[in-house]
A and B are shown apart, each in its own frame.
Chain A
Amino acid sequence: GNSVTQMEGPVTLSEEAFLTINCTYTATGYPSLFWYVQYPGEGLQLLLKATKADDKGSNKGFEATYRKETTSFHLEKGSVQVSDSAVYFCALSVEFQGAQKLVFGQGTRLTINP
Chain B
Amino acid sequence: KAGVTQTPRYLIKTRGQQVTLSCSPISGHRSVSWYQQTPGQGLQFLFEYFSETQRNKGNFPGRFSGRQFSNSRSEMNVSTLELGDSALYLCASSPRDYPGETQYFGPGTRLLVL
Give residues in A with beta carbon < 8 Å to B. Answer: 32, 34, 36, 41-46, 49, 51, 89, 91, 93, 95-107
A41 neighbours in B (Cβ, 8 Å): 107
Chain B residue total in the interface (Cβ 8 A): 29
Contact, CB under 8 Å: A49 / B100: yes
Q: How far, in angstroms, from A102 to B90 measured CA to CA in the complex? A: 12
A101 touches B99 (CB 8 A): no
- Choose one: B42, B94, B100, B107; the contact of A43 (CB below 8 Å): B107
CA distance A97 to B33 in the complex (A): 13
Extra inter-chain contacts (14) besides given A97-B57, A100-B103, CB under 8 Å: A32-B99, A43-B107, A43-B108, A44-B105, A46-B102, A51-B100, A96-B56, A99-B31, A99-B55, A100-B31, A101-B33, A101-B48, A103-B45, A107-B43
Which residue of the partner chain A has the closest CB to B102? A46
Of chain B, the residue at the smallest CB distance from A49 is: B102
Give the 7 A-B CB pairs with smallest separation, nearest first. Answer: A97-B56, A32-B100, A51-B100, A104-B43, A43-B105, A99-B55, A44-B105
Chain B, 73-114, CB within 8 A of any chain A CB: 90, 92, 94, 97-108
- A99-B97 in contact (CB<8A): yes
B56 with A98: CB separation less than 8 A: yes
Residue among A42, A44, A89, A101 making CB contact with B45, cutoff 8 Å: A101
In angstroms, Cα B45 to Cα A63, docked, is 26
B94's nearest neighbour on chain A, judged by CB, is: A100
B99–A102 CB distance below 8 A = no
**In this complex, what residue of A is CB-closest to B42?**
A106
CB-defined contacts of A32 to chain B, threshold 8 Å: 99-100
B50 — nearest CB in chain A belongs to which residue?
A99
Which residues B42-74 have CB closer than 8 A to chain A? 42-43, 45, 48, 50, 55-58
B99 touches A44 (CB 8 A): no
In the bound complex, residues from chain A placing their C-beta under 8 Å from that of B99 are 32, 51, 93, 95, 100
**What is the bound-complex CA distance between A97 and B45, given in angstroms?**
13
